Each structure stands twice: as structure tokens, then as C-alpha cells.
Structure 1
Amino acid sequence: MNHQRIAFVIEDLYGGGAQKSLLYTADQLRQRGHAVKVFTLREKIEHRLPEGLDIEDLAVVTRFTKATSTVLTEKWQARQINKALKAWQPDVVISCSCDKITRHLDFDNLYFWIKSDVSAKFSDPEQREKAFAKVRRFYNGRKVIAVSHGVKENLEKVVGLKAENIIPIYNPYEREPFVAMAEEALELPQGVTAGHYFLSVAAIEPRKRQDRLLRAYRHALDNHGLTTPLLIMGKGKPDNEQRLSALIDELKLQEHVHVLGYHHNPYPYIQSALAMVLTSEAEGLPRVLIEALLLHTPVISVDCPSGPKEILSQELQEFLLEPDDEAGLASALARMEANPVTIEPRHYQQFLRENVLPHFEALV
């Protein structure tokens, strides 16, 4: 195998799944012998950084550039990034979550890594078309990596993107690091025991549809005799967190639902859960479901665009529900409580790094 020079560009390493999957992908490529460098546009770090991974902050996103955000500002920022890239001389550049700036880069082998499904993010027709137009403006004629086959299909058929090329590549995983992190101490709320709770790990925001989860959970308590508590892990803007708290009160779920906030290491909680539950309006390829399977924790999910139906394969499809079927979701919670599914390696083989990383290596 030819060793390559692979550069990743991302705004920061704060919070979400896109940043986490980029760090894992970059580090796993490094471990396979490639020269890998991650360029950030501002020094804002929340994730654990892999030891030995080369990360350089270019400091081109500042309070001033955010206040004066124009195309001229973006082009100035892109020029600074271009200088750093040309000095390092990568064979391929992968941009993630900062494409408003990197679309101005002058680099032949530049890919834009799209990790979410814009086709499902907006219900208002005007907002939807505005978002689609932005995607076409950024990526028409460019090279794109789609995080799932569903994202690729929707970019082409729904958004109308005419890219030079759209390549679907899953996020790569190796099971051992998750197992190791899952062995750290677990601090559960009073009255909750390991192996006997449902878990939702998601940002507290409308698109993650915690309201759908709470209503289905209330339905399961009332109509199926559910007894397993629900833990919600995540953070959000204060008003979103307040709305979640108010809905828990409104549904009289204070004794059954526990909001844990954000955890740097959610894996002890994931491994000890009876099942992971996802109820989002839209995703790209929800890594939290894959991570649950890697830890042999069953999953229940709505079939939102895109990704869940590519993850819940084989007999796991029994726990894939239509997004608005709250009664079906309630039934799935009860069925999982009564007869938890056993997860085996065959359920997550397609996401393991040895099956995914060759696709990244083929980009050069």
C-alpha cells in the first residue's frame, strides 16, 4: 500500500459527531502508516484528542471574522488555509463542517465531506429551497463524500446536486477503543441500575425530537406497563433545555426520566443501557447507533432520513419505526424491555475500519 499525505480541514473540534468521526478517521488512517494532519480554523476543543495525531490551529475564524462575515472575508480565510496546505503538500484534502470557507480553496484533489441530510432538515418550502440552492452553489461540479448511501441518493434526487462525483463512505470504526472507554466509572441517578434503562444520546434541539421520544415513552408507561427508566444525555441552548424540562413536567415523567447533560465519555452509559433510542427528524449516519452496536447494546430508531435503515439490518429491522409512529415506538420499547435483542458482530461488520478505510485511501 502506498503511504499518502492526507489533510483534514474543520472549523473546530467542539462538541458534535462530525468532529468526533473526523478525529477517529484521521487517527485510524495515521495508524495505517499515512501522514495525516488536521487543520482547525479556531482553537476550540472539547473532544479527546488521539495521542500522536498532528493538529494545527490556523486561527482564521475569530470574533472579528464572524462579525464581518462576507465573501471577501471567506476568501481571505481560504488564502491562509491554502498557504498552510501548500506548505504541507497533501495528496488529498477533506473538508468537513467549514465548506463556506473551503469552497474558495484552489486545490485539485479537494473533497467535501457531507455528514447530514439537508433534504430533511426544513419543512418550510421557502427555507428548504434556499438550503438546496446553497448546497448546489457550494458543491456543483465538486467532489463530495456522502456519509451514507441515503445522503448520496437524496443529494442527487431531492436536492438536485450535480457534483463531479459523490462517493458514499461510512464513518470507520474499531470496536476496542469503545470497549476500553466503556470500562470507566458509571454514575447513575439514584434508583437507576445498570442494564435497566433506556438511553438517548443527542443534542437537546428540535431536530433530535426528544418530544417524540417522551410522548412515546409516556404511551409505553400507560399502555404497555413499561417500568424501565429513560435517561437523556446531551446539552442544548438554554431555551431548548427549558422546553425539554417543561415537557417532562407536563407529561408527569419526573420520576421516570433523568436528564444527564453532556458527558465527555458516554460509553459506560451506552454499554450499560438496555437499549439506545434515536428519534431524530433527520440524520446523516447516526454514529450513536453504530457505537451502541459496537458495545453490543440493542438499538431502537425511527426511520428518519438518512442512515438508520442502513444500520438496523437483518432482524434489527423489527425495531425500525416510521418517524411519526409514536404508538409503534412505544410498542418497540415494551418489546425490547420484555425480550432484549442480542447484538452480534455481524450487525456492525460493514462499519469496521478494515472495511471502510480503503475507500478513503482510494480518494488519492
Structure 2
Amino acid sequence: MKKRVAIVIDSLAGGGAERVMLTLASSFLEAGHSVDMITLEDDREHSLPPGLRVHCCFGAKSGAITGFWRAAQSAAKLGRFIGAIEAAHGPFDLILSNLDKANLLMARLKLPHLFFVVHNSVEEELKRQRKLGPLAYFSMLRAKLALTGKRLVAVSRGIADEILQTGRIHPLSIEVIYNPFDFPALAEKASEPQDLPKGDYLVHVGRMAKQKRHDVLFQALAQSRHGLPLVLLCQNVKKARKLAKKYGVEDRLILPGFQTNPYPWIKEAKLLVLSSDYEGLPTVLIEALALGTSVVSTDCPHGPNEILTGELKRFLVPRRDSAALAAAMDDAVNHAAASDALRPALPESLRRELEATQVMARYLALCDKS
């Protein structure tokens, strides 16, 4: 029986959660289900799968829609907006809310079949926000506490364990469903022609945010012995160049900007590096391994140690340790250069669990639990 699915998210800007939900939407659509993507803000950088209906509730300049005095009014407007879509196309069998702004508003609505997807470490995000001052911290805390009493989906076992062990949030239920990956489509996109650098290079994919710890990455690049350039796929090229100059590695950066198709860059890289303080389930690690590219990652909460298991554990390093990251980068470059036969791969059991069709089936099963 075909289902109607709504995916509610802050925007379709160039982030990991947005890409994950678009992959999931594509899987639903290919299976014949109906999907409506409902965004709060009109900010779109990703390409959309055919057949996906996208609706924006608040427009390009929505302002402080989740502010203390506006949240109730904004939630009511969003509720009416969703009701209008259902009136036009039919009621939803499953509604998935994503990211803090959307979650804060959706938590106020008494909608059936509603689940909240947690893409990141709650505690690590709050620690980072606390450094920005009390207003920023309590603004985020409101969004996290709004998840109490709700049905949650965690994108990694680490996130689910954190929520249950810390007791800050008391969910009605919590499921672990890994992010979906369309591996055949990934391989196809990775084969598309791109103007790639000549010779070997490293690659890092991620927005210029403190969570991603580009300062640690650039320090490690400065300390490494391999001398390879680093391709940085990010939005804020000016900010990246300024920070790289601070650490003396500006001349080793290649900055093509944000790429809607980063996969040829990842596939042809000698090594992909993740330097984050925290993640949820780092998509780029899985994509790199699926494309046969070596990886090095900080052992941050959460996700990397669920991906890099067995022999790949050697490429996990303590977070915020630039020397350890530099040594692991050198080790991985040497390891990758030794023989093409040593190219890494995803463990088959994990690959099966990440297949988009399997993940889609797990989400569809939620329809019977709500």
C-alpha cells in the first residue's frame, strides 16, 4: 500500500541532514510513495529528486520564527500550512521532523504519525552553544527539551545511547535507523566528469562551522609529511582561506566551493579526512569507503566508531589532537600508496543496513507504531 510522507526541515541549504532526507525522499518516490518536503525557509542548494513536491512555509526572510514570543504563532501557521497540503493531496501516513527550528515548532503540534529525527549529538551541540553565551545556549536547549515525550529516530546507536543515558530528554520512544545510501546512484554520480586537480590530493567535505574543526585540520596539514594539497569542499571559501592563512597552509588548499555532486572529488582523492568535534552519523565517511577511498577520522561522538571497525580502527584518532591526526593522515597516505588492492571498503553487514531500500522499509514500519 502506497504511503504519503511529509519531511519537515529548516531549509534545503547545503548540510548533511538535508542531503540525507533528500536521499530518503528519493527512495520513497522510486518505490511509488508520495513525498512532500516542507521547509521553513526558502534556502535551497541541493538538487531535488524528480517528483518531489517542495513547500516553503515562511519564505526567504523568515526572521526569528522560533523566538520565545513568536514560537506559538509560528507553530500555528505551520500547522495550518501542513493542513492545507493534506487537504489538497491527502493526509500523511508519516511525518518526519528534522533540525532544531522545525522540531521546536512541530513539537507544539498534536499531529498523528509524527517522528523527530535526531541527526547529531545533543550534548555536544549544547556544549558548543554554551560558549556562545546564555541566550544562544537556552535557545538551543528549548529545542532539545521540546523532544521530551516525543517519538524519536536516532541516526546512530551512539546518539540513542547518549539520549537514554544522560536523561536530559525523556522520549516516548526511540528507534535507531541509520542514514540511507543509494550505492548504485553514488557510483554513477562519482563517474560524472569534473574538472578535478591533477595528481594526488586529500579531500574534506563540510561547511565552515566550529563543529568541523577546520583549525585542527589545518594544524594537522601543516604538521603532516606527505605534502599533498587539500581540496576543501565548503560554502564559505573566503572564511576557509583566511583560517588556512592563519595556520600557514593557504598555499596547500584547493577551494572549488560547494559542490552539489562532491562524489567525483571523493572518489579520486587519495584520502578523505574528517576532523569534527562531534557528528551524528558522518555521511562522508560512508560515501568515501563505498567509493574505495581511504579515510581518517576523529573518534568523535557519534558514528565514526560505528563505521571504522576492524582493520579500519587504526584510522580513528582522538579529537582535537592535530599531531595524532597528522600521523594518521601520513599513515593512511602511505597505506593507500602501497597497493590498489588495499583500497578500503565498507563492511558488507553495515553496507546492507545502510542500503536506501532497507532504511526506507524501517521508516515505513514506523507508520504502524504511531
Q: In structure 1, what is the equivalent of residue 164 of structure 2?
A: 156
1:286 aligned residue: 282
Secondary structure of residue in 1 paired with 2:255 = strand
1:355 aligns with 2:358: yes
Offset at residue 357 of structure 1 (A): 2.2
Distance in 2 separating the partners of 1:68 and 1:48: 27
Counterpart secondary structure, 1:63: coil
Change (3 A) 1:64 1:268: closer
Question: Pairwise mapping of residues 1-364 of structure 1 onto structure 2 (< 5 A)?
Answer: 2-53=1-52, 55-61=53-59, 63=61, 66=64, 69=67, 70-84=70-84, 86-87=86-87, 88-97=90-99, 98-121=102-125, 122-123=127-128, 124=130, 130=138, 133-158=141-166, 160-189=168-197, 192-193=198-199, 196-221=200-225, 226-236=226-236, 241-242=238-239, 244-340=240-336, 341-346=342-347, 348-349=350-351, 350-364=353-367
Question: Is the Cα–Cα contact under 8 Å of residues 57 and 78 in structure 2 kept in the other structure?
Answer: no
Deviation at residue 115 of structure 1 after TM alignment: 0.8
Q: Larger deviation: 126-135 or 146-155? A: 126-135
Determine what percentage of the aligned residue pairs are the same residue: 28
Question: Matched residue pairs, number?
Answer: 350
Q: Any idea what SS the aligned residue of 1:263 has? A: coil
| 1: CA distance, partners of 2:123 / 2:275 | 17
CA change 1:338–1:117 in 2 (3 A) is same
Question: What SS does the aligned partner of 1:113 have?
Answer: strand
Provide, for residues 77-113 of structure 1, a one-character-per-residue CA deviation record: whole Å limited to 9, x for no partner: 2332341354221111111121122122221221011
Give me the whole-angstrom Cα distance separating, in 1, the residues matched to 2:283 and 2:260.
15
Structure 2, unaligned runs of 5 or more:
337-341
User: In structure 2, what residue type is equivalent to 1:30?
Assistant: L
User: What is the deviation of 1:317?
Assistant: 1.0
Cα distance change on mapping 1:131 and 1:73 into 2, 3 Å: closer
Deviation at 1:39, TM superposition (A): 2.4
CA 1:92–1:149: 2 relative to 1, 3 Å? same
- Cα–Cα, structure 1 residues 335 and 26, in superposed 2: closer, same or farther, change >3 Å? same
SS in 1 for 2:256: strand
CA shift at 1:61, angstroms?
Answer: 4.3
Deviation of 1:40 (Å): 2.7
Q: TM-score w.r.t. structure 1 length?
A: 0.88
What runs of 5+ residues in structure 1 fail to find an aligned partner? none
Alpha-carbon separation, structure 2, partners of 1:44 and 1:198: 29
Task: Tell me how far apart the structure 2 counterparts of residues 294 and 258 of structure 1 sit (CA, whole Å).
Answer: 24
After TM superposition, the structure 1 stretch with the greater mean CA deviation from structure 2, 332-341 or 255-264, is: 255-264
Distance 2:42 2:55 in 1: 6
- Residue type matched to 2:355 in 1? L
One-letter amino acid matched to 2:317: L
Residue 50 of structure 1 and its aligned partner are, at CA, apart by 0.6
Distance 1:151 1:219, change over 3 A: same
Q: Distance in 2 between matches of 1:51 and 1:82?
A: 21
Q: 2:65 touches 2:74 (CA, 8 Å); kept in 1?
A: no
1: CA distance between counterparts of 2:66 and 2:216?
A: 39
| Conserved 8 A contact 1:274-1:298 | yes
SS at 2:366 equivalent: coil
1:273 positional shift:
0.4
TM superposition shift of 1:277: 0.4
Aligned CA RMSD, in angstroms, stands at 2.4
Matched residues in 2 for 1:107 and 1:251: separation?
50
Partner letter of residue 78 of structure 2?
A
The one-letter code of the counterpart of 1:356 is V
Distance 1:336 1:32, change over 3 A: same
**Residues 149 and 171, structure 2, Cα contact 8 Å, conserved in 1:** yes
| Cα drift, residue 249 of structure 1 | 2.6
What is the CA-CA distance between 1:346 and the residue it aligns to? 2.6
Distance 2:329 2:179 in 1: 28
Residues 1:64 and 1:333: Cα distance change in structure 2 (over 3 Å): closer
Q: How far did residue 132 of structure 1 move?
A: 7.3
